[in-house]
Amino acid sequence: MSAVRREASGSMRIGLAAFAALFALAALFALAAQAGEPARVSDLSWMAGHWGANADGKAQEELWLPPEGGVMLGLNRTVDAKGTQFEFLRIADDANGVVYYAMPSGGEPTPFRLTTQGPNKAEFRNDTHDFPRVIRYRLVDIDVLEAEIEGEVNGRAATLTFRWPRRD
Q: For residues 115 and 136, give the distance between their C-alpha atoms in angstroms, rounded to a whole number.
A: 10
Give residues with Cβ within 8 angstroms of 40, minimum separation 6: 70, 93, 97, 98
Closest CA to 62 of 72, 79, 49, 71: 49
If asked whether residues 56 and 125 sit together in one domain, one would say yes
What is the number of domains present in the chain?
2
Report whether pLDDT(22) > 50.
no
Band (75; pLDDT cuts 50, 70, 90): very high
pLDDT the model gives residue 2: 56
Report whether pLDDT(35) > 90.
no
The CATH code of the domain that includes 149 is 2.40.128.20
Band (7; pLDDT cuts 50, 70, 90): low
Find which of 3-7, 12-16, 82-86 is predicted with most confidence, using mean pLDDT: 82-86
If asked whether residues 59 and 27 sit together in one domain, one would say no
If asked whether residues 75 and 23 sit together in one domain, one would say no
pLDDT the model gives residue 10: 53
Phi, psi of 105 (to 5 degrees): 55, 25
If asked whether residues 51 and 11 sit together in one domain, one would say no
C-alpha pair distances (Å), 25 with each of 47, 114, 138: 37, 31, 36
Report whether pLDDT(24) > 90.
no
Closest CA to 37 of 126, 97, 123, 104: 97
If asked whether residues 32 and 45 sit together in one domain, one would say no
Q: Which domain holds residue 149?
A: 41-165
If asked whether residues 13 and 86 sit together in one domain, one would say no
If asked whether residues 75 and 155 sit together in one domain, one would say yes
- The pLDDT > 70 percentage for the chain reads 79
If asked whether residues 65 and 15 sit together in one domain, one would say no
If asked whether residues 156 and 128 sit together in one domain, one would say yes
pTM of whole model > 0.75? yes
If asked whether residues 4 and 61 sit together in one domain, one would say no
pLDDT the model gives residue 168: 85
Which residues share a beta bridge with 139? 145
If asked whether residues 31 and 86 sit together in one domain, one would say no
Secondary structure, 3-state, 104-167: ECCCCCEEEEEEEEECCEEEEECCCCCCCCEEEEEEEECCEEEEEEEEEECCEEEEEEEEEEEC
If asked whether residues 113 and 52 sit together in one domain, one would say yes
